[in-house]
Amino acid sequence: MPEFRSGLSQSLLLAALVAVAVLSMAVDGGRETGEGGEMSWFTGAILDVAAPVQKVLAMPVDFVRETFIDYVDLLMVREENSELRARVAALDEENLQLREALVASGRLQRIAEMRDAFEIPMLSSELVGVDASPWFRSALVDRGQVDGVRAGMPVISEQGLVGLVRATSTTAARTMLVVDRQSAIDGTVQRSRTRGLVRGRGTDQLEFEFVARGHDVEVGDLVMTSGLGGVYPKGLRMGEVVEILDPGSQLMQTALIEPAVDFGRLEQVFVMLRRGPTMELLYGAEDGDLAVAEAPDDPAS
């Protein structure tokens, strides 16, 4: 009888734990398309503990890595320097010509006004950890609600688009990287203006799905955000086309993109402290306004 009771209680515990796990998944899965973004206090507390611990533990490792990288960089710096000087000279020349052309057509002022209109406050932030599971691509950054960071804000680096803040705790934020399989961004080819969908593959590459055939997309083309999804601002660099897959008889053509951001060496990122209109609708406009209003004193730009 005691054995039967013990077996029964074990079965009940198993059933209860499985039910909790499945219910959690169902609720969390439903929240992907609904309201949310701010973590529960419990989840937030775990991230608030994990982020500083990871940051401290990463310091010695970063020091060794930085020293090694600095040494290797130094070895290559002379050659790179002469190449860059030549490139700067060429770009200076090109820049002068373009300025002349713009001034001549009277567009310079309009472009300057447009830039001001699109200027978004940015918050410098450090990446302190990546996803604890190899099957998802997210990163933990050391800025959270107290810094004005809210779910739905884009995250970039000097190289290009990094991802989107998905959830925040008081002092940390979880960012879904563009290479995550749940990431899908409306993109455009800079040269031909061909539009398509840039999706994460869960690997270190992105895929670009577009309808047009022919030479609209070529290897080496730069793919930027189009701004049409209402999530990311227009013109953020996503990557470069490295391969165009054979479409066969399919209407959709797919190209592989090497991300502009080297996620393996990513350390510093910038959170754009303003959400796109779609994210405002999804998470609520008041939160977004608050995020901008509460931006700290040291935004990066």
Partner 1 sequence: MRPFVGILGLGAAVAILQGLLGTFVPQHYCPDFGLLLVVGLGLSWRGFASGLFLSAFLGFLTDFLSGSLLGQHGFLRMSVYLASRLGSRHLSLLGPLPLACFVAALTAANAAGMAVLTSTFTAGLPLDGTALTGIVPQMLLNALFAAPVAAVAERATLMLSDDENARRMLNLETRGRTA
Q: Which residues bind partner 1 (CB under 8 A)?
A: 9-10, 13-14, 17-18, 20-29, 32-33, 43, 46-47, 50, 53-54, 57-58, 61, 65, 127-138, 140, 166, 174, 176, 180-184, 199-204, 264
Which residue number, 187 or 295, has a Cβ lying nearer to partner 1?
A: 187
Minimum separation from the CB atom of position 128 to partner 1 (A)? 8
Which residue number, 53 or 88, has a Cβ lying nearer to partner 1?
A: 53
Q: Which residues contact 278 (CB under 8 A, 6 or more apart)?
A: 229, 230, 231
Distances from the Cα of 111 to the Cα of 41, 104, 117, 142, 224, angstroms: 45, 13, 10, 34, 19
CB 271 within 8 A of CB 155: yes
Minimum separation from the CB atom of position 224 to partner 1 (A)? 22
Kindly tell me the sign of the dihedral angle through the C-alpha atoms of 35, 238, 128, 132.
Answer: positive
Minimum separation from the CB atom of position 69 to partner 1 (A)? 11
Which residue number, 59 or 251, has a Cβ lying nearer to partner 1?
A: 59
Q: Of all helices (H) and strands (E), which one includes residue 2?
A: helix 2-31
Cα–Cα distance, 176 to 172 (Å, whole number): 13
Minimum separation from the CB atom of position 104 to partner 1 (A)? 48
Which residue number, 148 or 163, has a Cβ lying nearer to partner 1?
A: 163
Minimum separation from the CB atom of position 263 to partner 1 (A)? 9
Per-state percent for the chain, helix, strand, coil, to nearest 5: 45, 25, 35
Which residue number, 176 or 238, has a Cβ lying nearer to partner 1?
A: 176
Give SS3 for 98: helix
